[in-house]
Every structure is written in C-alpha cells, then in structure tokens.
Structure 1
C-alpha cells in the first residue's frame, strides 16, 4: 500500500518566510525526519533564508529528533524556534538546534531523563539500556553546547523520575532560550480638537480613565460648565459605550454627566462580573493543580507557580498535565502487552488490531494511525515504542 503524501512541512507564504508547525509526536507519521528533510530541500530550492518553527509539542523519539536536529544545523537556512505552548522532552532539545530560540510569555520547556521500553531476552534489554544511555549523552552534550551550562547542571535537568518544567523566565535564565516575546501596547493619545469619531477610535480601550476625570467631583453647570471640547470627548466616550442616547453638543451639562455616570456604573458591574470570573478560575486552577500534585506530576514547591499559570491559561496547563508521566513505575516499559480486546476500555481503533506494530499500521492504515495519535496518544506511543525506539 502506497503511503500518502504528507504536507505538514509544505512551504507556503510564497517561499519568503515559511512556518513549520511542530505539534505532533516526534517520530510519528506527522513529524518525522523524512518529512522535514523534504521540506528543507523544498525551501532551499526556493532560496528561503529564514524559517520559523512554532513549537507546541510533547516530545517523542530521540533517534528521529536528533536526526531532525542535524538536518536543521546542516541547512544554510536560519531556523527560528518559537515556543508557543510547550517544548517538552525531545521538543525542548530540538529547540537547541535552532539559530534563534524564543518563547511566548507563557510558554514552557520541560526536560527529563530519556525514557523507553523493550521486551525480550536479557541481552536485548541490556543493549537497549546502553542505547538509551548513549542517546542521553548526546542530549546532554547538546544542552551543554548551546546553553553554556556545566555537565552537573544539565544532569540536574535530567533527573530520574522528574519532569522539570521551566517557565519562560526561568528558561531564559538557564539560557534555554534567547528571548521572551512580549507585546507592549501603549495607551492611545487623542489629537487636539478631535472629532467624535476620532475620540471613539482613540479611547476604545481606555475610556474608564477619561470618565473618572470628569465625575470625581459633582459638577455645577452654572459655576463650572463643561467646555465644548470636553463635551465632545465625553460624547465620544458615551458613543463607545453605546449610551449616547441622542445627546448632541447642545445637550445640557447635567444630561451629559448623567449619562456618563450610567457608563461608570455599567463599568463597575462589568468589574464585579470579572472578579467573580477570576474567583471561579482560581478555584478551577487549584483543583487541577491539586490533582497534579496528588498524582506525583509536580512537587509541593511547584504548586504555587502552576496555579498562577493555570489561572492565566487553564487549557494549556490541563493539556500539559495530561501528557506528564507522574509517579514512576519501576516496571514501566518492560511490559508492553496490549490490552485484551474484550476490555471495555480498549480504544475502538485497536479492536481487531491488537497485534499490529508500527510498521503494520504505516502500511495498512497510516491515516487511522495518525488519528490514533491524536485521540489516544498513550496507545499510540506504546505501539511506537515496540519498534525499539527510545523516547525522550
């Protein structure tokens, strides 16, 4: 059966600055060295000089990963690795092969000891353990080379049974990234004698500060009238809130200020609702992180930081939690027996295919295999590991 063409690395953007999305399992059907090699050659033929790699990946095969890294290094193209969500495990190693390394403000990098599993005779198990040690030596050397850290420091990143997470700030301190990408937007300034339309466009996000300036103290229309330019600004702000209610520059100061107070009250109600939502998010975050700690996925010292991150981006932390290994099973990887097909928990895609290995899936049903990697990554990774491919 012919393997269908995979266009995950297809060069777009007219070849000027293409983007590679690294979000699948490294070494799986979607993200592998063969596909990346074809993509690099296509870009080189199009005379591409720079390419962004957006990384939100849980890792994968060290063998495919290190091969991909060498392809990146040997190409004349400048690759710019950007952590958009997480660069966990092998994905964090691949980041070190990029010419520049950066992360979004809430991005994360995770390191841990090389993992894998094999079954067979004792000599096979020992040989596989030697292979895992060799892969870890290569990864350690790359971290040392790119970060400038000592071997002892890097060894601390690869502790047995520990998933070590770096937020963007800690990653920069450890020199795992070069820069943190942040967007700083300055508050707009209205031009002098602005029209109502210009004020609406200018003060769309900062109108509360304008409102407060005009209603801090009660206004007396006769003793302290609002000048015409001020009134135009207030009417512009009311227009932003959809509460101008037919008022024009000929309206009395009292009428204009009354509507302005209505806007402030509406803003207060919105603030109260926002505080209630923040409290709800806080409770959700605490429950999620408490379950992570209970499962041994994080330490007590990490709880506070994880709670803060979960409040900011609950879905990202929940996804990371699902992919974390948790407490280490000393027998993990040595028992690769597939679940009995009568087991109600067996994924539907595996029923009748319990004996299929990686090669069989790739030959008979590659698209189904890719869907399995998304719908049930744990089952997918178990099948993949049977190919004697240590994973990080």
Structure 2
C-alpha cells in the first residue's frame, strides 16, 4: 500500500500487504501527535486481513476526530477498515464491496480445518463490526458476507455504511462494478489518478522494474511500495517451493511404486522357483515357507544356488524298487564307483557274480 501524508491527511492507496498495518500506525501516530482532526483518504481493493485489522484498531481506538473519505473504492478488507469510525464518507462515484474473508493454505487436513476455523472467526468479527456501525441485525448483515456485494455511494448511505456522500475527486466513466471480473479491476479505474508522482523517485522505479520483470512478479509494478514488492518476491518463492515439493513428492511416489513392483516380481519369481523345487522332489511342500523366507531375505540368486546344490530326495521305497540302468557300461567301474553310482547294484553283484565282487573288494582294500 502507498501511504502519503500532507498536513493532517494520510492517503492510503493500493493493496494491503503484510507489514502495511505497522507502516500505517507509524504514520497515523505522528498525525495524532500534531492534529486533533485527521482525514484518511482510502482507495483499496483489500488485502491482508491481519494488517487490515491493525489499521482498523488504530483508527477505532484513536482519541482524535478521525474521518475516512472513500475516494475510489473500499473493497473487501477496505470495506471493514471504513467501518472503524462513524465519520466515513464516500465520493459520489465511488463504491464499497463487502464479502466474507478468504485465503489459502497448504498442508494436511488438520491444517485446513484450523485455517477454516480461523476464517470463520474472522467472518464473525466482520459481522459484528457491520452490525455495530449500521445498527442492523446479524441475519441482515450476514447476507453481505455471501458472495461479492457492491454498494454505490447512494446504496451505502441507505444501508448506513457511510455517513454521507462527498464530491468526486476525479471523474471516471460510469460503470457497473458487478460486471467486472474482480475488485482489482474496479480499483484500477481510479488507481492511476491517485498515485502521486513523488512517492517513489526515478531511481527507485528504475531499480524495481527490472527486478519485477526478471522474477516475473505478479500483482505489483514499479509504482508499488517496497513492502508490496518484497511480499510478491516471498509469494513467488513460496509458490516455487511448493511446486518443487510437489514434484519431489511425485518422484518419490514413482520410486515407491517401482520398488513395490520389483518386490512383487521378485516374490513371484521366488514362489515359482520353490514350486519347481517341490515338483522336482528337492524339498517337501511343508518346507515352502522356510525357503520363501530365504528367497525374500537373501534374494532369488541365493535360493537358486541352494536348489542347484541339492539332490533330488528319494524315498526308501523308491530306492529299493529302482532298477539299475542297463544302458550304463559298468565294466571299468571300481568299488568306489559302484558304491557311489549304484550301491544296490553292487550289493546284487555279490550274489550274481561273486567272483567279480571279490576282485573289486580286494582291489579296494589291497587284498
């Protein structure tokens, strides 16, 4: 917000940014020390609720004779500030706009719930202020907090939102504010006519303009106050930080999804390998859980090694009933070879060919 002071008058033009409440109080207190009557010329499309409340409280608690002249529009928080004194006047071609407080936040459901509760408290505060200044019922003024409600000077006077109508300070083409996209657009109808040329010197403007353009700041220009530009920089930083965090969270989710997919595939491979081992007779079915734990803990490669070095389990009955493979040439087998490859055949040989068995036995034990 741009503040300019001339004698007992302080002109307040523009968006109410964070920090503007303190800056207003500094200027206002200086005027309180010097004058009994103070005039505040207001033209704003609203802004920070908390800084607006600081401005409201400073005016409302003042022991001086304070008047507010709405010289363009008093929208949103500007409308609330205008209710800080009973001596509020609006130019004949001005407007007031009242609506419920709004904002945005970022975080968990709990954060949103707390923020919604805060907005409800602020809305109640707005309603109380409007009831006090107009003398109207809560039910009546609460209708003004639903949607954007515009009041011309005549309508504002009728609703007791202002004490009187004053002559316009500048001529603007007649227009209907309800047909415009936002209060900022309505504000712009008057803004250029009220920004004094001596608020910022050329060097300040020349410094701000390239910064605003380089950073792509929104809602400010070279005529904006230092506070407004700093706030816009902070807002851009916060937006970019939130965007980066959202991108990082998305990448983390992709990695988590890939890890889950790989784990699913690995578990499927372990299950398949164990099923093959059971089918091949290398392990019992009731031991599947044990080998599944090995596969999940040590990996499928370790499980493959275990099964590769494992002989096929044979039942006693299977061993007894298994006939020797007649296609294998056993003529050159020694005693150890027989014991390893065909122990049952070696046992049978002692009966079917005792002479050969004796030769193998003596060769083995050097007899």
Q: Normalised by the size of structure 1, how large is the TM-score?
A: 0.47
Instruction: Select the structure of larger CA radius of gyration.
Output: 2
The structure that is helix-richer by fraction is 2
> RCO (CA 8 Å, sep 6+): is it higher in 1 or 2?
1
